[in-house]
Structure 1
Amino acid sequence: MVKRATLQLDKIPTFEDAKALDNSDVQNQVIASALRGQLEETVGNQQAAVPTCICLNLEDLKCFEPVDCQYERWGVIFRNALAIQPSNPAFPTHSGLTALMGSPKSGFLEASFLYPVNCVSAYVTSSQRIVLSAYDRDLQLLAQTVLPVANLANSDSALSPNTLLTVTANNIHSVTFCAFDGQFTLDDFRFCS
């Protein structure tokens, strides 16, 4: 069972919202690689001309590689991001071996979109409370999601590691992940138009 932490500024999430997000996992999603020319569709439907969701395949990144423009052709640019293969068992990955963390400034990571999106999500493991915030092109806050407590593996946290954080709003131009005085990892970063 996947645990989700969601807090929207304008709307109280419903069971139907979570169900709709789960359905988007299967339909019109593309796994986007950092390597040029690699593309894996998760649906066998070759007629889908434009994907509605892109999930980043972090496995092509080298450990300790700074991540910024590697996914620009997919529509996202990162700031203060580092690819890691966590050796600390408190920070397990959700899938594969590679995750992103905020670095060199710990506790912060930003993603900017070349074209506005309507939904952004990632599986997060954090040593502190973490806030996922979505902004419009004028940097006005659109929505926030909060992981209220740390969720490290092998801890007494009420939340399991790799909790799915999601923000939804029209015309998201950027998102930030902020864990004040903490460390966190992100995996399966996904955005939908």
Structure 2
Amino acid sequence: MVKEAILKSDKIPKFNNSEFAVDSSQIHHQTLATEWQGSVKEVYETASANTPSCIALNFEDLKCFETVERQYESWGVIFTNCIAIQPSNPAFPAHSGSTVLMGSPKSGSLEVSFLQPVNWVSAFVTSSQRLILTAYDRDRQMLAQTVLPAANLANSDSSIAPNALLSIAANNIYHLTFSAFDGQFTLDNFRFCV
């Protein structure tokens, strides 16, 4: 099991300028997950209480237009209202590879549930509208919220580049919602740490 140390805080880190955001080159110790068939219990049992384990999901094994729900359940995560796509619209470029996730059939919304609590989640997002990421505890009580303040489509006049890193930190996150009201968004390089 690969482990990564992160600073724990009750405050959500906010990056107003993308040059201060964490990028994939700064995360050296992570697990890249595909449709692994082992036990998620093994992942959590091997993590020490003081050193969080981080998992980065690799969507490249998914087929275009495949409904994504329980493909990553063995890694401790279940998606709802989610489809894998290979964007043909250049306004929604993938961050890495060619496959991203999008809310579907209900556009502008995507939900994530964790089998065990996590403390940090991030994804690279491109959205046609303001995007809100909300974290909830086991009882669906809101823990924290972070916002992509405006659309960030490629080849637009947006001041925010496409594939902006959106992250959220809180203790005992069990559920997440990504919401872009009356909009579309894609997410790539989904990561979470326990």
Task: Give the TM bin, normalised by the shorter chain.
Answer: 0.7 to 0.9
Contact 1:24 1:53 (C-alpha < 8 Å) held by counterparts: no
Q: Distance in 2 between matches of 1:110 and 1:65?
A: 16
Residue number in structure 1 paired with 2:33 = 32
Aligned to 1:74: 75
**Corresponding residue of 1:161:** 162
The number of residue pairs the alignment matches comes to: 170
Cα distance change on mapping 1:111 and 1:71 into 2, 3 Å: same
Helix, strand or coil: the match of 1:67? coil
Secondary structure of the 2:70 match is coil
Identity %: 67
1:60 corresponds to = 61
Residues 178 and 19 of structure 1: CA distance in aligned 2, closer, same or farther (over 3 Å): closer
Residue 13 in structure 1 maps to residue 13 in structure 2: yes
Question: What CA deviation, in whole Å up to 9, does each residue of 1:96-148 have, x standing for no partner?
Answer: 00000000000000000000000011000000000000000010110111000
Q: Give the gaps of 5 or more residues in structure 1.
A: 1-9, 38-48
Alpha carbons 1:34, 1:58 under 8 Å: kept: no
How much does 1:25 deviate?
1.2
Could you state the TM-score of these two structures normalised by the residue count of structure 2?
0.82
Higher strand share: 1
Deviation of 1:20 (Å)? 8.0
Runs of 4+ in 1 over 4 A off after TM superposition: 18-24
Letter matched to residue 13 of structure 1: P
Partner of 2:116: 115
In 2, distance between residues paired with 1:78 and 1:59? 16
TM-score, structure 1 as length reference? 0.82
RMSD: 2.2
Deviation at 1:69, TM superposition (A): 0.1
Contact conserved, 2:133 with 2:146, CA < 8 A, in 1?
Answer: yes
